[in-house]
């Protein structure tokens, strides 16, 4: 049985004042039956990790460089995330792929660096609206799986997040049938490549997850949790999503 994971991606949001939201979340979920992860901007990771220390909430980064160190101004190495208290890192998010032209090969290289640095890699996949409407969704996802995932992944070292690009921050979500189709496809691909470990790797759904739709999404068999954007910024929004996941998977 895969343990549920509620992951919050704060993106380019949050200042020191936001730490109070995490304090509230920590108080509301002292002994959750699912895992909770928050990935704040790099400027907050050390302070947020101090707030969550000793609690059930894990922290992580939003990206890491393939190199261990060097002349890469503005970038962050896996070891720096670990040093700041993080245990996870989000890689290959559609916003990184679009804003920074990241390729599958680059995402794969970053994932290798994350694993070598002792981090759990949360590797993101997703199709555009044009690709969805052209009936290319599974082809796109299959290509991203093949190109973005390094060999040797296990349920303890990696998480996959399916985020249809057209659903991120738009309020639109795929139908339950569409989510089921893609998550079943990802699961079959993982098992074909990684065997028993492919069954253990958690697959999250992301894209306009909110308290109002969380329970229906979490009822899907191969949805093991969510990668939540805007709704993870406020405890009053993220907490009921965590509770919905506990009800479904806890």
- Exactly one of 29, 102, 163, 183 is catalytic; which is it? 163
Closest by CA position to 4, among listed 81, 56, 60: 56
Task: Collect all residues with Cβ–Cβ distance below 8 Å to 14 and sequence separation of at least 6.
Answer: 40, 41, 44, 233
* Phi, psi (rounded to 5 degrees) for 169: 70, 10
Mapping DSSP to helix (H, G, I), strand (E, B) and coil, where does residue 250 land? coil
102 is an active site residue: no
Task: Collect all residues with Cβ–Cβ distance below 8 Å to 244 and sequence separation of at least 6.
Answer: 211, 214, 215, 218
Closest by CA position to 244, among listed 33, 12, 10, 2: 33
CA 217/CA 123 separation, integer angstroms: 20
CA 41/CA 110 separation, integer angstroms: 18
65 is an active site residue: no
- Exactly one of 29, 88, 93, 183 is catalytic; which is it? 93
Catalytic residue list: 93, 163
């Amino acid at each position: 049985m895969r343990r549920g994971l509620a992951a919050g991606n704060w993106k380019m949001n949050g200042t020191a004042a936001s730490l109070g939201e995490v304090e509230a979340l920590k108080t509301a979920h002292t002994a959750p039956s699912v895992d909770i992860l928050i990935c704040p901007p790099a400027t907050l990771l050390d302070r947020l990790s101090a707030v969550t220390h000793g609690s059930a909430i894990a922290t992580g980064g939003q990206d890491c460089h393939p190199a261990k160190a060097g002349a890469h101004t503005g970038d962050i190495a896996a070891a720096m995330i670990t040093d700041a208290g993080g245990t996870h890192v989000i890689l290959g998010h559609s916003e990184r792929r679009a804003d920074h032209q990241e390729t599958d090969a680059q995402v794969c290289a970053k994932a290798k660096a994350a694993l070598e640095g002792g981090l759990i890699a949360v590797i993101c996949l997703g199709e555009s609206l044009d690709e969805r409407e052209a009936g290319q969704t599974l082809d796109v996802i299959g290509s991203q799986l093949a190109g973005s995932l390094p060999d040797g992944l296990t349920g303890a070292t990696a998480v996959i997040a399916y985020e249809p690009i057209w659903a991120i921050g738009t309020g639109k979500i795929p139908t339950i049938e569409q989510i089921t189709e893609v998550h079943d496809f990802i699961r079959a691909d993982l098992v074909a490549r990684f065997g028993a470990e492919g069954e253990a790797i958690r697959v999250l759904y992301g894209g306009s997850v909110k308290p109002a739709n969380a329970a229906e999404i979490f009822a899907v068999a191969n949805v093991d949790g969510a990668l939540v954007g805007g709704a993870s910024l406020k405890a009053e929004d993220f907490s009921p999503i965590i509770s919905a996941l506990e009800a479904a998977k806890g």
